[in-house]
Structure 1
Amino acid sequence: MSAVVPGLGQPPGPPPEPGPEGGPDDGARRAPRGRTEPVDRLFQGVLRGSGAVVLAIMLLVGVFLTYRASQALGVAQWSFLTTSAWEPDSRGFGIAAVLTGTVLIGVTAICIAVPLALGTALYISEYAPRKLRRTLISLVDLMAAVPSVVYGLWGFFLLQGQVVGPSRWIATYFSWIPVFAVDGVDPGDPLQTTTVYTSSTFIAGIVVALMVTPIACSVMRETFSQAPPGEREGALALGATRWGMIRAVVLPYGRGGIIGGTMLGLGRALGETIAVYMIISPVFSVQWHVLQNGANSVSALIALRYGSASEFGMSALMAAGLALFLLTLVVNFVASSIAARSRSGAGTEA
């Protein structure tokens, strides 16, 4: 017979019985699983069907492009990736030049768009007053609805003349970086013609950057707004400034959104057609100098040669489209795998 010590309560009893999973009373704490309602099963089936339809459409697009491109790929084989010229009727064609231009335009656009999108998203989610926040969100979404031809007209008639000065300044002080050099031009010569800086990769990248900024900004803003309020308040309670809280809580939590928005914008930039086609001066040689006149992209090539292509030339254009399709798939798969490892993307894994 055990005695009860005053102030210490009852003596300890036997340990609790382990539940089915090995933990104490785990079965009692686990809520019973009810039967799935018909509406839930219907909704789940619609979601699965929608996902299957999207995957089937993507597969059919890949199969169609591969089938139509098989004739040209059978002739060009691996030289299709290393040849710069585009003369399919004489059996001399490849995507080395246009694929390089596509990547350069996309990277230039992302280097400009990501800081703009990140700053705008942080201001809207963390600093803007509540009444102003809705207006800013509507304005950003409205920018995404502007047709690409409008951006192209703006870039061709207004932006080109305004960018010549900054392009010359960059070429003057940063020409030691190969990508910013301009062949055969003395940037310090005031009599040097300005046409060497027009219709360049840099100008096309600026226009495409303004087109992809709203998309990236929306993704980042949604992720930042979901940062845990408890961690926000805890950081502020410990004496952190607003910016310190953003660095310690919001940015680490929103890393998946930043990466996802960046890659989504890059995918849009790689496939942009009309705006790029209206601005660039097409060249079929590998052009690494982003400030120099002359550029090209896969989508602009297809728009340029589609109307006058022969049967074999059409097959070559389909092969170029297949390369762009695979490139965008790789970019999106890499982005999803990186974003899934972050806190904000952890819930997307099923």
Structure 2
Amino acid sequence: MDRARALGRLKFSDSGFRVMTLASALIVLVLLAGVAISLFLGAWPAFREFGVGFLFSDAWSPPREKFGAATAIYGTLVTSLIAMLIAVPVGLGISVFLTELCWLPLRRPIGVAIELLAGIPSIIYGIWGVYYFRPVMQSYIQPFLIGTLGNIPGIGFLFQGPPFGYGVLTAGLVLALMILPFITAVSRDVFDTVPPVLKEAAYGVGATTFEVVGNIVIPYTRVGVIGGVMLALGRALGETMAVTFVIGNATKIQSSILAQGTTISAMIANQFADADPGLFTSSLLALGFILFVITFIVLAAARWLLASLEVKA
């Protein structure tokens, strides 16, 4: 009888735990669906008024109630691309250095310093970008790019225009600094999971550190590395305050990455407080819904890629 009661209590506890975890998972799904539905309902007047052309128009004139998302979408994608092109190789390089080359007493202090960057509020990055990084861009980096890369046929159009300091490139560089800790921390942790015997065997047959990293460490941890990169990309796509401070907030698409621009998050942050009810507010909500969809697509693609890599492994 005591045994039966004990088993009954354990079964009840297990069932209760299962129900609680299921409820927690369903709450997340309900909240996610609620956010998507509320954004879509708020954006529907803009979608109904402008149709598919809303995605491809760079018009943004609140007085004339003409709105388009192309400039914000372009700025979001380009700044994120610039940030990833810089942060991914640098972050992986730092991770390799910390796990394979760094003097042991320095590994922890350097690792903690990198991770502390992730805890800095984005507005601090924005203030630093405006008062310290923008003058450097305006006085040194942008004039150098204009005078060198700006004269190369084929890519010169990307580096033309006056050196204001603000711009898409500046925002991309600040974003790169912000997402660097995410890539570095995740990559370092997954690099540490590589069995030492694999690396020792490679070194034993005469492999160099470069060969060990390229043929052992990276292939063994590719799923975790891609996960960290996608986490950083999600942060870059949705960043608001730091980008708002340094991108310039122009509402027209320009081919030069030195020119001022905007992103979806920056446009919403700048204009939502002053938006009149109607198409203006609906258009801003439409931008939010588009950002939601872009982020969802990116994360879904990342999950599909990770699943395919796990199957191959």
- The reply to whether TM is greater than 0.5 is yes
TM-score of the pair, normalised by structure 2: 0.88
- 2:149 maps to amino acid: F
Q: Deviations over 1:90-133 (max 9, x none)?
A: 33111011110111111111111112211111112222233322
Residue 300 (structure 1) aligned with residue 266 (structure 2): yes
Match of 2:126 among 140, 144, 152: 152
Match of 1:168 among 139, 143, 153: 143
Q: How far apart are 1:340 and its partner, in Å? A: 2.6
The aligned residue for residue 198 of structure 2 is 231
- Does the C-alpha gap of structure 1 residues 280 and 133 become closer, same or farther in structure 2, counting only changes over 3 Å? same
The aligned residue for residue 68 of structure 2 is 94
- Conserved 8 A contact 1:253-1:342: no
| Structure that is richer in helix per residue | 2
The aligned residue for residue 136 of structure 1 is 110
Task: Please give the alpha-carbon distance, in whole angstroms, between the structure 2 residues aligned to 1:249 and 1:96.
Answer: 43
- Does the C-alpha gap of structure 1 residues 211 and 77 become closer, same or farther in structure 2, counting only changes over 3 Å? same
CA RMSD of aligned residues (A): 2.2
Aligned residues between the structures: 298
- Conserved 8 A contact 2:142-2:163: no
Structure 1 vs Structure 2: percent identity of aligned residues?
A: 32
Any stretches of 5+ residues in structure 1 without a counterpart?
1-36, 184-194
- 1:136 maps to amino acid: I
- Does the C-alpha gap of structure 1 residues 217 and 50 become closer, same or farther in structure 2, counting only changes over 3 Å? farther
Does the residue aligned with 2:180 lie in a helix, a strand or coil? helix
Matches within 5 A, 1:42-81: 46-81=20-55
Match of 2:158 among 162, 169, 180: 180
- Conserved 8 A contact 1:171-1:180: no
Task: Please give the alpha-carbon distance, in whole angstroms, between the structure 1 residues aligned to 2:243 and 2:98.
Answer: 30
Mean CA deviation greater in 317-326 or 222-231: 222-231
The aligned residue for residue 293 of structure 2 is 326
Task: Please give the alpha-carbon distance, in whole angstroms, between the structure 2 residues aligned to 1:45 and 1:248.
Answer: 45
- Conserved 8 A contact 1:170-1:180: no
Mean CA deviation greater in 310-319 or 160-169: 160-169
Any stretches of 5+ residues in structure 2 without a counterpart?
1-9
Q: How far apart are 1:268 and its partner, in Å? A: 0.9
Matches within 5 A, 1:1-350: 46-88=20-62, 90-164=64-138, 165-175=140-150, 176=153, 177-178=155-156, 180-183=158-161, 196-292=163-259, 294-312=260-278, 313-342=280-309
Does the residue aligned with 1:227 lie in a helix, a strand or coil? coil
Mean CA deviation greater in 245-254 or 332-341: 332-341
Mean CA deviation greater in 301-310 or 330-339: 330-339
